[in-house]
Structure 1
Amino acid sequence: MTLRYRKRRLYFILPDVQITRQVVNELLLARVEERHLHALARDDTDLEDLPQADLFQRSDIIHGAGMGLGIGGATGAVAGLTTIFFQPSGWAESGGLILAIALVGAMVGMWASGIIGTSVPNSRLKQFQKDLDAGRVLLMVDIPEGRMEEIRELVKKHHPEVSDRGVDPHIPAFP
């Protein structure tokens, strides 16, 4: 995959909603699609018409689902092995039963952990919690790796009051 298409997430802390709106408008003019902009603030802050962070950005649903997939799959495999050892004669002789129970365990684990993850704040955003509590706005910008410096310079040039808080090394594939 070339640098042009690999995405990175930039984090910016903005002092208020008004400046966030200005930055978002400038990013839209710089051809950053609105679906790649995610604003997050305290619950009592009205972000108005800004593109808001959705469940995938706000919660630990992805991390929870991944953990549930692994743990559920392992638990299902152990349950499948246990079933084979204690099965009445004539049951499945192959590992197909183990695989089937492991898959069911993985799916149930992923579903249950994903649901739990929706109620847990995103662990990657803990570093921004003090700023959010102070009434500032977090803006996450998902852009191709080749445009990182261009976007950072654009924001810094027009808004020195905005704090550049770095880059996430990778973005989950599906949100």
Structure 2
Amino acid sequence: MKRIYFLVPGIETARTVVNDMLVARIPEKHIHILARRGTPLEELPEATMLQKSDFSPAVQRGLAMGGSVGILGGLIGLALSPGAAVIAGGILLASGLGGAGAGAWVGGMVGLTAGNTHLKAFEEAIEQGQMLVMLDVPRARVDEITERVRALHPQVQPHGADPDIPVFP
């Protein structure tokens, strides 16, 4: 999946873009609207904390770093315990999984408190009253959806796509 960004001038345009995306068979759970605080979105799908924060990238970084530290700790433990060589695989697996789990949890908690770094580029436009429409679409449909939005809504500004996003958020 890839996330595509579009800046729209107001709520009516956002509503028509969302309706057109539903017609294009993009599920509502893959459409996210970010607007200035206090803007009533009514039935539009508002971006959740997962889209507004750095949760997902932070979990991925924590998972990788925690797993690495866990395996390193397991190797050090094996080197210091002469009788542990018999169960070395189990020790490394347990320490790696434990470290990865702890790293993902800590990374997620830190990521929830940090704003999404990709959204910083849109802060000024959102504060001026524009709305950000984020669409999570299959990689193969990115060009098709971007062209559809351009053709149906010339006033909407496309702002590219993120690198691949994970499936779980």
TM-score (norm 1): 0.83
Q: How does 1:104-143 map to 2 (within 5 A)?
A: 104-143=98-137
Equivalent pairs: percent with the same residue? 41
- The 1:100/1:32 distance shift into structure 2, 3 A limit, reads closer
Distance (Å, rounded) in 1 between the aligned partners of 2:67 and 2:141: 39
Give runs of ≥4 in structure 1 deviating > 6 Å. Answer: none
Letter matched to residue 117 of structure 1: G
Distance 2:49 2:29 in 1: 14
Tell me which amino acid in the other structure corresponds to 1:83: G
Measured at CA, do residues 103 and 147 of structure 1 come closer, stay the same or move farther in structure 2, by a change above 3 Å?
Answer: closer
Structure 1 unpaired stretches of 5+: 1-6
AA aligned opposite 1:72? G
CA RMSD of aligned residues (A): 2.1
Report the TM-score when normalising by structure 2. 0.85
Supply the AA of the counterpart residue of 1:85: A
In the TM superposition, residue 146 of structure 1 has moved relative to its aligned partner by 4.1
More helix per residue: 1 or 2?
2
2:38 paired residue number: 44
Give the deviation of 1:39 after TM superposition. 0.8
In the alignment, which residue of structure 2 is the partner of 1:99?
A: 93
Q: Report matched runs for 1:15-164 at 5 Å.
A: 15-87=9-81, 90-91=83-84, 93-95=86-88, 96-164=90-158
